[in-house]
Amino acid sequence: MRICRYVNTDNQVHIGLAKDDNTLLNLTTAEVESITSIMENEAPEKFLSSLKEEKLPEIPLNSVNLLCPIEMQEVWAAGVTYMRSKDARMEESDFSATAYDRVYDAPRPEIFFKSLPEKVVACGDKVGIRRDAKWNVPEPELVLIMNSRGIISGYAVGNDMSSRDIEGENLLYLPQAKVYHRSCAIGPWITVGAKEEEARQWEISLSIERADKKVFEGKVSVNQIKRSFDELSRYMNQSQEFPFGSALLTGTGIVPDDDFTLEEGDTISIYISGIGCLKNNVVLV
Residues that bind ligand DO4 (CB under 6 A): 77, 79-80, 85, 89, 110, 139, 160, 174, 251-252
181 beta partners: none
Q: Which one of the spans 102-110, 133-141, 232-240, 256-264 is the region binding Mg ion (CB under 5 A)?
A: 133-141
In angstroms, what is the minimal distance from the CB of 141 to Mg ion? 6
266 binds, among ligand DO4, Mg ion, none (CB under 5 to 8 A by kind): none
Q: How far does CA 102 lie from the centroid of its chain? A: 25
Q: Which is nearer to Mg ion, 71 or 160 (CB)?
A: 160
In 3-state terms, what secondary structure has residue 192? coil
Reported for 213-220, long-range contacts at CB under 8 A and 24+ positions apart, including other chains, are 215/260, 215/266, 216/256, 216/260, 218/254, 218/255, 218/256, 219/254, 220/82, 220/84, 220/253, 220/254
> Beta-strand (E) ranges in 124-212?
126-129, 136-137, 140-146, 152-160, 162-163, 184-191, 203-210
Q: What is the DSSP letter of 157?
A: E
Judged by beta carbon distances under 5 to 8 A according to partner kind, the member of ligand DO4, Mg ion, none in contact with residue 144 is none
When asked if residue 160 is in the footprint of Mg ion (CB under 5 A), the reply is yes
Q: Which is nearer to Mg ion, 139 or 167 (CB)?
A: 139
Closest contact distance (angstroms) between CB of 43 and ligand DO4 is 32
Please state the closest distance from residue 252 (CB atom) to ligand DO4, in A. 4
Question: Looking at 92, 139, 167, 266, which residue binds Mg ion (CB under 5 A)?
Answer: 139
CA 48 to chain centre: 22
Contact 22, 2 (CB under 8 A): no
**Cβ 75 to ligand DO4 shortest distance, Å:** 13
Of 71 and 139, CB closest to Mg ion: 139
245 binds, among Mg ion, ligand DO4, none (CB under 5 to 8 A by kind): none
Contact stretch for Mg ion (CB under 5 A) within 88-96, 139-147, 206-214, 218-226: 139-147
Residue 260: burial class (beta carbons within 10 Å; 0-12, 13-18, 19+)? middle
Closer Cβ to ligand DO4, 5 or 164, answer by number = 164
CA 184 → CA 76, 127, 212, distances in Å?
A: 10, 7, 24
254 close to 160: Cβ distance less than 8 angstroms: no
Binding mask 230-259 for Mg ion (x = CB under 5 A): ----------------------x-------
- Least separation in angstroms between CB 263 and ligand DO4: 21
34-to-3, 70, 189 alpha-carbon distances in Å: 10, 10, 13
Residues at the contact surface with Mg ion, assessed by CB under 5 A: 139, 160, 252
